[in-house]
Structure 1
Amino acid sequence: MSARHHWDEDDRDFSAVQTIRRKRTKPQGRRRLADLTNDDESGDDRDDLIRRLTDLGLLTEVVAELKSGKEATAYVARTPKGTALLKIYRDLAARSFKNDAVYREGQVILDERAKRAMDSRSRRGLEFLQQDWVMAEYARLWHLWAAGLNVPEPLVGPTPFEYSATPPAVLMRLIGTEDHPAPRLSEARLTPDEARAAWAQAVQGMADLLRLGYAHGDYSTYNLLWWENTVIMIDFPQLTTRQNPNFRDLLRRDAESLAVSFRRHGIHESGETTLREVQRRALGPGPEPRMVLP
């Protein structure tokens, strides 16, 4: 899933260039909504990322901040393809969550220099990791969407060439409406019947991931949306495959997290029971695939 990386050997040899680059690449944390919504015609005062996405014809405007988390901030935005969720990652150096090694084990990175930089978490390595994190989310979103799973529709792609221009942002279809975005399942108020239906869908979603060879890595009601009586899975940059030696542990942890987080909705299942049900369902048929146009 990793994009091919390149680096410039010469930029380590000139201290003046290093100084300029350090100033320009100061870790970017949470972006202020006011900076993202600046509509100055000259574009001089616009955020660089927003200017780039607008110039590429991928974004029309940012409307509101939706939610800010430990890794990224989500915004409601308008695009030529309709209302979108614009997810902008903080730079890795500015995130409260930085230990992603457990998810990356088993990942094949062909560029050895990039791999060494990523492992050392040097400034250049963090840049590679940032790019890889965003590219991976796009690639996985497209795979899951095409396979028919209940995930947001990615709005850039489906080829890496297309979505490689958007980091540190990911654009996807907004679940809900501009005025009423879908709530996370952790925040939704459910009747007992709705809770049972949501539980069944959440277990099925985890099984669908497992059927494709994935463990989510952070699966709970905090990463599930509830809209029109349907559970939608979100947040996939840490999605891991069976090649990861931690796969079984992450899968078991997902089952436990799902069971614990559903207790507030009156569902009381153990992590072990949940895992067995997920594994049983994963042996069954998957959803109907969607057609993805090149």
Structure 2
Amino acid sequence: MSARWLDAELDGADVTPERRSKPKKKKLLGRRKLDDLTAADPENIADDTIRRLIDSGHITEIVAELKSGKEATAYVARGPRGPVLVKLYRELEARSFKNDAVYREGQVVLDERAARAMTGRSRKGLEMLQGMWVSAEYAHLWTLWRAGLNVPEPLVGPLPFDYDATVPAVLMRLIGTEDSVAPRLSDARLTPAEAQSAWQQSVQGLADLLRLGYAHGDYSTYNLLWWENTVIMIDFPQLTTRQNSNFSELLRRDAQSLATSFRKHGLQTDGETTLREVQRLARGKGPEPRIVLP
């Protein structure tokens, strides 16, 4: 999280939990209705975030809802550089998945007021956690994209100053086309040869993450896309590093989840065997880094 965003959020912030005797009622931003995100005249769009993304030139319009998950809903949009995927996060209080502490362990928040606000989960603290969650996905996407891994190209950044302005949305290049979006690997129908190729690519992807010092935290065919015989890794806000004391367990869980979810495609293996292969591959050479022009 950038210093600019943090200073703005902390200005006048109450870093203690709000009193239950005086709850401040407000409508939580959960799953947005598509009608609130579209209009013939952009000025009439009900959703503030989408109007801001259009006004800033990041997108021109929302086309369709793609998928709704535990933390966010993904939408297909049009932009100046082609099809865009807009991942619009719900407010923390409106998510079905709320306990992110296991992924954040080991992170250092230097500003004591911010740390207290987030620990106390005050209103400002929850807003900061939301900003960190969104900014983390951008930062991870840029790191992995530059390192040459098969991930969607982030469309805002690479400076935090730029992508802080899109919170609570993350914008990335759409995998597939507007009319034919890449399916999740869990939904793809594969031949035996394709399944074997997809498995090898998926294991290699987890190894590439490990080589960079990361565990995904939620790695399975549900967070892998299949497009033109290529596996694309997605969903990175919970990506964690070796500074997290849960790192080994999260990596082991990733390997187990991958092995379990691939049984649908006829591959029978176990988590420990998968983990050993991931660790072996991680000692090899990684992909060629991408050159990102300023």
Give CA-to-partner distance per residue, 1:73-131, whole Å, 9 cap, x none: 00000011210100000000000000000000001111111111111212111100000
Identity %: 73
Structure 2 residue 35 is the aligned partner of structure 1 residue 34: yes
Alignment of 1:169-180 (within 5 A): 169-180=169-180
Structure 2 residue 9 is the aligned partner of structure 1 residue 3: no
- Between the aligned partners of 1:117 and 1:10, the Cα distance in structure 2 is 8
Distance 1:287 1:22, change over 3 A: same
Give CA-to-partner distance per residue, 1:123-177, whole Å, 9 cap, x none: 1111000000000000000000000000000000111111110010000000011
- Between the aligned partners of 1:8 and 1:287, the Cα distance in structure 2 is 43
SS of aligned partner of 1:9: coil
Q: Which residue of 2 aligns with 1:89?
A: 89
Structure 2 gaps of 5+ residues are none
SS of aligned partner of 2:96: coil
Q: Answer yes or no: is the 8 Å Cα contact 2:255–2:275 preserved in 1.
A: yes
Alignment of 1:89-238 (within 5 A): 89-238=89-238
Q: Answer yes or no: is the 8 Å Cα contact 2:184–2:223 preserved in 1.
A: yes
SS of aligned partner of 2:127: helix
Q: Which residue of 2 aligns with 1:74?
A: 74
**TM-score, scaled to structure 2:** 0.94
Tell me how far 1:39 sits from its aligned partner: 2.7
SS of aligned partner of 2:63: strand
Q: Which residue of 2 aligns with 1:63?
A: 63
- Between the aligned partners of 1:136 and 1:91, the Cα distance in structure 2 is 16
SS of aligned partner of 1:249: helix
Q: Give 1:251's aligned amino acid.
A: L
Alignment of 1:252-271 (within 5 A): 252-271=252-271
Q: Give 2:38's aligned amino acid.
A: T
Give CA-to-partner distance per residue, 1:209-255, whole Å, 9 cap, x none: 00000000000000000000000000000000000000000000000
Give CA-to-partner distance per residue, 1:177-212, whole Å, 9 cap, x none: 100100000000001000000000000000000000
SS of aligned partner of 1:272: helix
Tell me how far 1:29 sits from its aligned partner: 0.4
Structure 1 gaps of 5+ residues are none
Q: Give 2:260's aligned amino acid.
A: V
Distance 1:10 1:226, change over 3 A: closer
Q: Answer yes or no: is the 8 Å Cα contact 2:13–2:124 preserved in 1.
A: no
SS of aligned partner of 1:165: helix
- Between the aligned partners of 2:232 and 2:119, the Cα distance in structure 1 is 33
SS of aligned partner of 2:157: coil
Q: Which residue of 2 aligns with 1:239?
A: 239
Q: Answer yes or no: is the 8 Å Cα contact 1:114–1:125 preserved in 2.
A: yes
Q: Give 1:3's aligned amino acid.
A: S
SS of aligned partner of 1:279: helix
SS of aligned partner of 2:50: helix
Q: Answer yes or no: is the 8 Å Cα contact 1:67–1:73 preserved in 2.
A: yes
Alignment of 1:269-288 (within 5 A): 269-288=269-288
The total of aligned residue pairs comes to 286
The runs of at least 4 aligned residues of structure 1 exceeding 3 Å deviation read none
SS of aligned partner of 2:275: helix
Q: Give 2:123's aligned amino acid.
A: R
